[in-house]
Amino acid sequence: MSEPKQPSRAQQLVGDFAPKLAELTDEVLFGDVWARPELSPRDRSLVTVAALIANGNTEQLSGHLLRARENGLTESELAEVIIHLAFYAGWPRAMSAVRVAREVFNR
């Protein structure tokens, strides 16, 4: 007998309240969009982290910083993304991103 399947991160975060959103996140976003071969997972992480910072979505940033590191981006490269975006997305957003990155990378 196989072990029961563990709930995905999306199911853990929103599945009790919005199960369809969790399903779409798992099947469409991560099951299709993130799996497309036209961009590497590293590139997708870079784009996603930049978009989250630029839009001020720091609540979603923690998980994507960890994913970015798993996908091959270094902490130094992620810091450089934040520095670069300070001039294009705004200083306060970059400062908020640094706070999140410090928490994620335990600095």
Expressed as residue numbers, the domain containing 79 is 39-107
Same-domain status, 57 and 17: no
Whole-angstrom distance, CA of residue 55 vs CA of residue 102: 19
Q: How many domains in the chain?
A: 2
Judgement on whether residues 61 and 14 belong to the same structural domain of the protein: no
Model pLDDT for residues 42-59, shown as the tens digit of each residue: 999 999 999 999 999 999
Q: What is the DSSP string of the chain?
A: -PPPPPPPHHHHHHTTT-HHHHHHIIIIIITTGGG-TTS-HHHHHHHHHHHHHHTT-HHHHHHHHHHHHHTT--HHHHHHHHHHHHHHT-HHHHHHHHHHHHHHTT-
Q: What is the pLDDT of residues 11-52, one digit of tens each?
A: 999 999 999 999 999 999 999 999 999 999 999 999 999 999
pTM of the model: 0.89
